[in-house]
Amino acid sequence: MTSHAQYYEENLHPLQDKILKTANSLSSPFYLTGGTAETTIQLNGKEIPVRMKAILHCDKNWGIGKNNSLMFRLPKDMSFFRRTTKGKTVVMGKNTLLSLPEGKPLKDRTNIVLSSSLEKDGKSGFIVASNLEELKAVLSRIDNEEIYVIGGAMTYRLLLPYCDEALVTKVDADGNADAFFEDLDKNPSWELVEEGPPEKDGEFTIRFYRYKNKQPRKL
Ligand SMILES: NC(=O)c1ccc[n+]([C@@H]2O[C@H](COP(=O)([O-])OP(=O)(O)OC[C@H]3O[C@@H](n4cnc5c(N)ncnc54)[C@H](OP(=O)(O)O)[C@@H]3O)[C@@H](O)[C@H]2O)c1
């Protein structure tokens, strides 16, 4: 079994200046925007809606993990993950953060962690959002409109309706998972728009898929 520690090894520390600055500037109490208005950011004087995508790999049963670890070692997929999320904002749940080496955030990305229990000290190189409303408030203050939801199961479940796309790497194996992503092939709100060829990744065969949400909920 591959731990998050091994999988994300190359993505880690040192903590980036930008992340720390962002975290510190957001550590003061939040003033929630509330309401049902779309979450937007100001970029070059324009209001831009925040766009959220889920990124994950899963086994043939849509299993994504076991014992708070990843189930496969997939160098090619890891490199795709790194390329896609570099310079962007990533949102993860507390368990996913804790599964990273020393519980440290991913480098070269602004890291937001959903948690009702973690300290909001602004010193750990990540931003804590303790509920969905707080997450929206945080996102509206970040100078990056591309947000990637990177897991785990609970966090995907919460944020999937707001995602406009899901980038799914399917592994042709059964990992005997205990954590699952929703089966998008059975969800009428989602459609498959891209399907890559089968390719070797380590000892496994993978395929890259892109799904589109026909009606993403406004963040
Ligand atoms: N295959 C992949 O691509 C992939 C990617 C990432 C993770 N994973 C796997 O996913 C599994 C972990 O999934 P998980 O569901 O246990 O963990 P998770 O989503 O990473 O974290 C769950 C925690 O996040 C916090 N949280 C979630 N929703 C919240 C909300 N609305 N408000 C406040 N806090 C919220 C809670 O922390 P508090 O208790 O502090 O409130 C909750 O206990 C592992 O097996 C991992 O390896 C797989």
Instruction: Tell whether ligand 1 has an atom less than 6 A from the beta carbon of residue 114.
Output: yes
Mutate which of 60, 116, 148 for ligand 1? The one with the most ligand atoms within 8 Å of its CB, which is: 116
Cα of 77 from ligand 1 centre, angstroms: 20
Instruction: Tell whether ligand 1 has an atom less than 6 A from the beta carbon of residue 170.
Output: no
Instruction: Tell whether ligand 1 has an atom less than 6 A from the beta carbon of residue 153.
Output: yes
Q: How far apart are CA 137 and CA 89, in angstroms?
A: 14
What is the mean predicted confidence (pLDDT) over 192-214? Answer: 98
Instruction: Tell whether ligand 1 has an atom less than 6 A from the beta carbon of residue 179.
Output: yes
Instruction: Tell whether ligand 1 has an atom less than 6 A from the beta carbon of residue 175.
Output: no
Q: How far apart are CA 200 and CA 130, in angstroms?
A: 39
Cα of 96 from ligand 1 centre, angstroms: 6
Instruction: Supply 181's token pair.
Output: 């992503």
The full length of the chain comes to 219
Residue of 58, 17, 41 lying closest to 152 (CA atoms): 58
DSSP lists the bridge partners of residue 79 as none
Higher pLDDT: 186 or 21? It is 186
What is the mean predicted confidence (pLDDT) over 41-58? Answer: 88
Q: Is 49 a residue whose pLDDT tops 60? A: yes
Mutate which of 154, 169, 174, 204 for ligand 1? The one with the most ligand atoms within 8 Å of its CB, which is: 154
DSSP lists the bridge partners of residue 24 as none
Percent of the chain at pLDDT exceeding 90 = 68
pLDDT, position 7: 52
What pLDDT band is residue 141 in, cutting at 50, 70 and 90? confident
| Residues contacting residue 124 through CB under 8 Å, at least 6 positions apart | 23, 104, 105
Cα of 27 from ligand 1 centre, angstroms: 22
> Please, is 40 exposed, middle or buried when counting C-beta atoms within 10 Å of its C-beta (0-12, 13-18, 19+)?
middle
Q: How far apart are CA 161 and CA 164, in angstroms?
A: 8
Convert 45-68 to b/e letters by CB count within 10 Å (16 or more is b). Answer: eeeeebebbbbbbbbeebbbbeee
What is the mean predicted confidence (pLDDT) over 12-37? Answer: 37
Give residue-wise pLDDT tens across range 149-182. 999 999 999 999 999 999 999 999 999 999 999 9
Q: Is 39 a residue whose pLDDT tops 70? A: yes
Instruction: Tell whether ligand 1 has an atom less than 6 A from the beta carbon of residue 169.
Output: no
pLDDT, position 29: 30
pLDDT, position 8: 53
What is the mean predicted confidence (pLDDT) over 96-125? Answer: 92
What domains, with CATH codes, occur in the chain? 4-25+48-213 (3.40.430.10)
What is the mean predicted confidence (pLDDT) over 106-120? Answer: 95
Question: In angstroms, what CA-CA distances link 67 with 4, 108, 146, 182, 219?
Answer: 11, 27, 30, 18, 31
> CB count, 10 Å around CB of 195?
12
What is the mean predicted confidence (pLDDT) over 114-142? Answer: 92
Q: How far apart are CA 70 and CA 63, in angstroms?
A: 10
pLDDT, position 121: 82
